[in-house]
Structure 1
Amino acid sequence: MKSFRSQPQQNRPKKSALIIGRVKLIAAMKEGRQLERIYLMNTAHGPEIEEIKKLATSLQVPINKVPVEKLNGFNITDHEGVVGLIAKIQYHDLQDTISFIVEKGETPLLLILDGVTDIRNIGAIARTAYCCGVQAIIIPDKGVGALNDDAIQTSAGALEKIKVCRVNSLMKAVDTLHLNGIAVYASEMTAEKLVYDCDFAAPAAVIMGSEDKGIFPALMKIADTPFRIPMAGGFESLNVSVATGMILYEAMRQRSGKN
């Protein structure tokens, strides 16, 4: 059994993990280099900046607009108002991933993270998801914690093993799941249906929202079935990684055929 790693420390990215400057960043994206995100000085402008924005949109790379102090904090001076952070993991196309799962003869079990920003939660979720047979995690290109070294360490390397699909719209991702015959369940603590009554043995995806805001209302509306984890004592608060683990263990139990 793999041992727990020590708790990660927040570190400034190494210079080797950065793509610095406008021309280099444009070239890297055109070459297909995967980026975790782009840090763009909030006053930067010009034709190269517009091209960077256009490329980032097409490649679903999030852009963080930041003050110049943020870029200088990387201990670089030749950034020209923009820095790209090289992705630590490989991102996959959602439809290609679904097709790959089905072609292998497996029943899809996917996890959607909506607004989960804490990297330790993301790492812990990925670790549990991989152990419970989830084939892919779907995340939005904005509003999610960076999948950096800290997240990978917390996941005990699971983020390097499980497929991660980064999409520019979770709403469109749900549409894609539906077109592929995958039922979408949404974890919601006020729902009537219990987790035990969901059919996770069939093709399924589970949406987990943030602990403070939950699942985005429009996303909840297009999900097939809201459900909840029953709790004793009227206490309605679970850490999102713990709740995810409980749900995915139930999915694994159902898929194993155990009563």
Structure 2
Amino acid sequence: MKSFRSQPQNRPKKSSLVIGRAKVIAALKEGKQLERVYLMQTVHGPEIEEVKKLAALHQVPINKVPVEKLNGFNITDHEGCVAIIAKIQYQDLQNVLSFVVERGETPLLLILDGVTDIRNIGAIARTAYCCGVHAIIIPDKGVGALNEDAILTSAGALEKIAICRVNSLMKAVDTLHLNGIKVFASEMTADKNVYDCNFSEPAAIIMGSEEKGIFPALMKIADTSFRIPMSGNFESLNVSVATGMILYEAMRQRMAH
């Protein structure tokens, strides 16, 4: 197995684009890792249907956009279809879990639900790598693009830590449960404090967005929820700061064993 590795975003370099329907279809068939596919809102036809089918098969997100978005890439021959080559090499979740267990290590994973700000994602990846997290699990929709800006914010950590992109966080939790991993959910109204959780066992921690928190159905299938106690009466912590506090506690517990 290979080794792991709402801010204005820069226009992607032309070398990172796959331009036109036939080329996007070919890239998907070859299994080239794509960050996402952009389809013009008004396009249709057999080739577009094939793009949609192949993208779903390879869990590549599709964004339907106005033509101005595609023209904004400074290209004209796009035929209403452009893909961006992924900067991150995404890993299969089960492969990562098997690799970690075979190495004799206790899995520690992080699940990001609805975290869209690439600065937060970059900061979280940096802390996760430093605290011994084996993989970050993200959904294929509703997450910030892991582009050059995100990698820069992470100080390169996004290229060092395994990133598992899944089409359903619910199914990912099922996979974790089947592998004997306990799933913890960070929730500011929970009764249990973070330091009362046992993170030295195989564990995955769900972090939700600052605005909406964790999706209710996902919260429901978590094994336990916990909160970070605060002395002041304040609404919430920044998600990357909260993640850092939790992961440090997990690392502290694991180093003590």
Q: Tell me if 1:191 matches 2:190.
A: yes
- Secondary structure of 2:249's counterpart equals helix
- Provide the rounded CA distance (Å) in 2 between the counterparts of 1:184 and 1:37: 28
What is the letter of the counterpart of residue 74 of structure 1?
Answer: F
Counterpart amino acid of residue 61 in structure 1: V
Residues 141-220 of structure 1 mapped to structure 2, 5 A cutoff = 141-220=140-219
Give SS of 1:57's match: helix
- Counterparts of 2:163 and 2:10, CA distance in 1: 23
CA distance in 2, matches of 1:223, 1:139: 16
Aligned to 2:242: 243
Question: What's the counterpart of residue 95 of structure 1?
Answer: 94
Q: Secondary structure at the match of 1:53?
A: helix
Partner of 1:125: 124
| CA offset digits 1:139-195 (Å, max 9, x no partner) | 000000000000000000000000000000000000000000000000000000000
- Structure 2 alignment gaps of length 5 or more: 1-6
Structure 2 residue matching 1:165: 3-state secondary structure: strand
Map of 1:75 onto structure 2: 74
Determine whether 1:51 maps to 2:50: yes
Cα deviation for residue 9 of structure 1 reads 6.8
Shift of 1:235: 1.9
2:135 equivalent in structure 1: 136
| Secondary structure of the structure 2 residue equivalent to 1:234 | coil
Cα separation, 2, equivalents of 1:70 and 1:248: 38
CA contact (8 A) 1:111 1:205 kept: yes
- Following the alignment from structure 1 to structure 2, what is the Cα–Cα distance between the partners of residues 9 and 215? 25
Partner Cα distance (2:66, 2:108) in 1: 41
CA distance in 2, matches of 1:226, 1:9: 34
Deviations 1:198-249 (A, max 9, x none): 1100000000000000000000000000000000022231000000000000
User: 1:136 touches 1:162 (CA, 8 Å); kept in 2?
Assistant: yes
Partner deviation per Cα, 1:116-156 (whole Å, 9 max, x = no partner): 00000000000000000001000000000000000000000
Equivalent in the alignment of 1:30: 29
Mapped contact 1:9–1:150 kept (Cα < 8 A) = no
Rounded to whole Å, the distance in 2 between the matches of 1:87 and 1:10 is: 15
**SS at structure 2 position matched to 1:230:** coil
Aligned residue pairs, count: 251
Identity across matched positions, percent: 82
Q: Secondary structure at the match of 2:24?
A: helix
Runs (4+) off by over 6 Å: none
Secondary structure, in 3 states, of the residue corresponding to 1:55? Answer: helix
Deviation sequence 1:97-130 (CA, Å, 0-9, x none):
1001101111000000000000000000000000
3-state SS, counterpart of residue 232 of structure 2: helix
SS of match in other structure, 1:91: coil
- What is the TM-score with the length of structure 2 in the denominator? 0.96
Structure 1 unaligned residues grouped into runs of 5+: 1-7
Root-mean-square deviation (Å): 1.0
